[in-house]
Structure 1
Amino acid sequence: MQTPLDLVSAGVIPPCFFPNVRLRLAYLLLWLLPGLAVAQSSLSGTVRDSLTQKPLPFASVFLANTTIGATTTEQGTFTFERVPAGSYDIVASYVGYRLAKQSITVGRTPQQLALALAPTGAQLGEVVVRPRPNKPSDYQRFKELFLGYSTFSQQCRIHNPDDVLVDFDPKTTELTAAARNYVQVDNQALGYRVKYYGLRFTCNFTEQVVTFYGQPVFEEMTTRSARQRRQWEANRVRAYLGSPTHFFRSLRDSQLTAQGFVARRLRIVSNPRFARADSLRQALLRQRRAYSAVEQDSLKRWAGVPPSFAMLYMAPLHVDKLRRVAADGQRVFLRFQDQLQVTYLLAGPDANYRLQPSRYARGPAPPLPQDRQVSQLILMQPEVEIEANGQLANPLAIFTDEYWGFEKMGEFLPVNYLPPAPSPNP
């Protein structure tokens, strides 16, 4: 029986890096979906020690997946002005304390928050010795899977590799990585310094799944060059256009066609020929004898039969087939049948993108379209809300594949990123 995970094929890892392994990407980067919401409000609060209740001065406080952050005052207080409406995780960090995280929803009313940090027990300046150093090949695999292979990803650098703890378990074929505090990624393509707090990374080669999640905060990198600033701005627009962020906002605003998207129904159907072929193989294996010429011919003939095949419905889907709007007209839910093939017509794929052969078809991969980006979207539950700021209420409700699965940290944008408005016609 196929599980939803079996339906997510790869196209992310070039075979030269991991021969005989095809990764199915459970893309849990918590897709950062900036919104167009007009409503804004302010947040303020205090960061304290959970045991003594004393305020913690100069603690770092930020809204995860955004550029919104601050350092507390000597009294342990902080304030964020003009936060766009939507759902966020507010995170506080302090040396010698565990991260404090609280989920909040921002509307039109100012909020007062209290964050309590629990001491870790480690003393400031204490030297922590890891049980063994990272194996260079394991760290290299982590870095490639985490940063990605795109043109922008090649301009990303992990600033503190010694703070990353990587381990590979050959019994479970699982590669894991974590950081004591955060992993800092300097993205020279987009001009962001990303501090990824609480990183939890897993790559299971048996199940062929990659997941990573945490609470990242974005900082604008500084430059004295106006030319580099313009390049960063252009690259951010390029990363945004055609992305899941762009797609969900366009869907919520009924602007799919105007924004250059086409969505089609993709149905995965079990192949009865595979069941018969697999039964033949199992029966011959149980007999434990040499195969006859006829049996060898049968095995050869059935060798390339895929377990399932894909049926693509060519008629584009109307937005009402992709979403449900609540009776109040305010809440919008992502909802569709089977899977989606999402095509962005206004830009081609990255030069480093290579489409891998589909597990649903024989032969090599079809020619890669040069003038468009083709992705797959899988919904793991009946529906999920698209919030006012464009985020999914449950980011783990989706898997992405093909081109969207290819994009990683190189295209990582904060929630509060807004592309520049088009210039008015003269």
Structure 2
Amino acid sequence: MTAPTTATDVNQPSLEHAPRTGRRMSWPVLLLVIAGALALTSIVRLITGANGITNVSQMSTALQLAVPIGLAGLGGLWAERAGVVNIGLEGMMILGTWFGAWAGFQWGPWTGVLVGIIGGCLGGLLHAVVTITFNVNHIVSGVAINILALGATRYLAPLAFEGHQGGSAKQSPPVDSLGHFSIPGLSDWLESLNDQHWFFVSDIAGLLGGLVTDVSWLTLLAVALIPATWWILWRTPFGLRLRSCGENPIAAESLGVNVYKYKYLAVIISGGLAGLGGVFLSIVANPFYLEGQTSGRGYIGLAAMIFGNWMPGGLAIGAGLFGYTDSLNLRGGSANVHALLLLGALLLVAGAIWLAIRKKYVKAAITFVIGALVFAWYAGTNEVPNQVVSATPYVVTLVVLALSAQRLRMPKADGMQYRKGQGK
């Protein structure tokens, strides 16, 4: 007689014995690091006079830009925790933008949200069929979905939008707003405190003010999905079985887990979350669909997921970082980026000191030289070219991934082909 399968049983061969690289940062240490970075930013603000880098409007814009990146990253996390690489997040976001705007201008914004999620789910279902059932390479399938989604929406847009007021071959008619809210009293008080330009206190006020001022209801939903994802994947039997499929699907199958089912569910949910990110772009960020409006955010969402070490909390921090750098394009770009050169130089010097303490002298020397060059760039100029401002989000993405690569651990079976019964 065999013992009944339980969530704990599934965990034994696949998760508890998975190798780990490095130590996970505790919440107190993480909060201390964030506070230190904010204090350093405050010092830079006082030295340079670039008060815009932490004001309420800057933080509010950063939050708005971080949401679609975070939703795409969450989609990637669901898929990859089940062992399926989802490069097709960009295409699923494109489907979300188109379907959301198409349904939104006809039947209202909340219907647009629902239909946009369904559009993303359709992209996820296609990716699941191709990769899970037919065992096509995950990267090839994802790239094909990105191309297919772009071509499909270019074909459908003229058919659906031309002839309607405000519509064209590349743009949908306007969609009604989902509505925004600010917390009465608190948002005004934080904005007033931020305007005092005090050290650290005003910067915290700017950060918190951006979270409670002129916030969309869809933003609130997106933020709530971060802890919800953590709870489902790490605190429920469903999540444990799903993660076991990404760590050791053969062992999971031997314990009675329907690996195909969990992989399918994960990839479809992944597509729905990416589609929701697309809906945010075409209903909240802009009240209409516009060809090319995803602008690579699906790829940056994937980068945020990797930066976050395939964890929801780290993903949220990565999305916030990339959203903040992206917001520099919209608000005081050149002056703010020039001020952040000083911040980057200080962070590099601090990193060099830390590497020297750990006796990694070669890396410390290289980091210090790069920091000195960045400081020379800051000291020798009064502004940076607009091209640098536009490239800042992508440069930060590459730098952050390069610096964080050594501490990452992806799910063991991520991207691996699986056939039912292959372990027998």
- TM-score (norm: length of structure 1): 0.24
- Structure with bigger helix share is 2
Q: Say which structure, 1 or 2, has more relative contact order (CA 8 Å, 6+ apart).
A: 2
Radius of gyration: which is bigger? 1
Q: Could you say which structure has the higher strand fraction?
A: 1
TM-score normalised per structure 2:
0.24
